Amino acid sequence: MKEIKEAQEKWKAAKKAAQNRCEKSHNYEMARKLGACQMFTGEESMEEMINLMFSPQGAEFLTENHFPDIATFRKFKKYHPERFGVYIDAGKITLSDARRAFLVGNTIAEMKYSQIAGNRLILMCGASAHIEASGYSIVKIEKDDVSKVEIVKSDYAKVLQ
């Protein structure tokens, strides 16, 4: 898929920029790790690429380096990424006990978690979420600095940020 190849080229540039920032701040170990990283080859299927986005390393890289930009995300909207938990410019949505959700751009989510389970939520490019966590649910949230999250916890729920 040409969009994945294009995204991989942009990822290499973002990775190089992150590596340069690490070197300038004398964090040579992280710069070395970034330089050696071959996590995203460009040969992945869309599902495999999304699985990389949800990995701990992938989510950290994306949110900390503002990668990809909204224009790149929007190129994938026509492939219905919501079937894999990625919501791009989805408007107002409601999700219940979504094990993993990646909200992007003009997406405003009402989210309820009540099941005894771990859940992952990632927000980028100005997405927002209102979360109600209850019971013994656990929600791990990662977001860029332009996305917003409101949290209401009850019972024994845990929300990790």
DSSP structure string for 70-132: HHHHHTTGGG-GGGGTEEES-EEEEEES-SEEEEESSEEEEEEE-SSSEEEEEEETT-EEEEE
Does residue 90 surpass a pLDDT of 90?
yes
Shared domain check, 62 and 136: no
If one counts every other C-beta atom within 10 angstroms of the C-beta of residue 134, the result is 15
Q: Which of 69, 85, 113 is the last residue of a domain?
A: 69
CA distance 94 to 144: 21
Q: Is the pTM of this model over 0.85?
A: yes
pLDDT level of residue 118 (50, 70, 90 thresholds): confident
* CA angle in degrees (0–180, nearest 5) for 85-99-130: 80
Do 58 and 94 reside in the same domain of the chain?
Answer: no
Region 141-161 average pLDDT: 97
Do 146 and 86 share a structural domain?
A: yes
Q: Is 112 exposed, middle or buried (0-12, 13-18, 19+ CB in 10 A)?
A: middle
- Domain of 40 in residue numbering reads as 2-69
pLDDT for 39: 84
Residue 81 has pLDDT above 90, yes or no: yes
Q: How far apart are CA 67 and CA 47, in angstroms?
A: 18
Tally of domains within the chain: 2
Instruction: State whether 60 and 81 are in the same domain.
Output: no
Give me the pLDDT at residue 137, please.
96
pLDDT the model gives residue 140 = 97
Residues 65 and 78 in one domain: no
Based on the domain organization, do 100 and 130 belong to the same domain? yes
How far does the chain reach from its first CA to its final CA, in angstroms? 34
Q: What confidence score (pLDDT) does residue 36 get?
A: 84
Q: Are residues 36 and 12 in the same domain?
A: yes
Among residues of the chain, what percentage have pLDDT more than 70? 100
Residue 102 has a pLDDT of: 98
The domain boundary, picked from 49, 69, 89, lies at: 69
